[in-house]
Amino acid sequence: MGPPKPKAVIYIGCEQWTIKFFNSEPIVAQFVEHAGMMLAQKVGINVAQTQVIKLADFNALAINVLNKTKASAFIACLQELLWKLPHTLAQSSK
């Protein structure tokens, strides 16, 4: 189990994911945890969706822990678009 892992929240597409960092673990720890979640799902256990993502110098585990309704998914998508809007407008005015 070990000590608590540092985490961050990001958007992948329009969904909110928690990123779990593995700073003092073996290099394959995130792959092992992802594989365990996939195996649990295959035998019928209801688990969060996970994926290993490549960051600058290492990999991290992305965990989608929220079962969103269509309305909350729409709100998350809208928030992402509103966040990008000032950057998009700034680029188009150049």
Full 3-state SS string of the chain: CCCCCCEEEEEECCEEEEEECCCCCCCCHHHHHHHHHHHHHHCCCCCCEEEEEECCCCEEEEEECCCCCHHHHHHHHHHHHHHHHHHHHHHHCC
Q: Is the pLDDT confidence value at 16 over 80? A: yes
Contacts of 30 (CB under 8 A, 6+ apart): 20, 22, 52, 59, 60, 61
Domains of the chain: 7-67 (3.30.200.120)
The pLDDT assigned to 9 comes to: 86
Token pair 């195996």 is found at 39
Answer whether 49's CB lies under 8 Å from 16's CB.
no
Who has greater pLDDT, 23 or 67? 23
The pLDDT assigned to 51 comes to: 92
Who has greater pLDDT, 83 or 11? 11
pLDDT in tens, 43-84: 888 888 899 998 888 888 899 876 555 555 666 666 677 777
Contacts of 3 (CB under 8 A, 6+ apart): 24
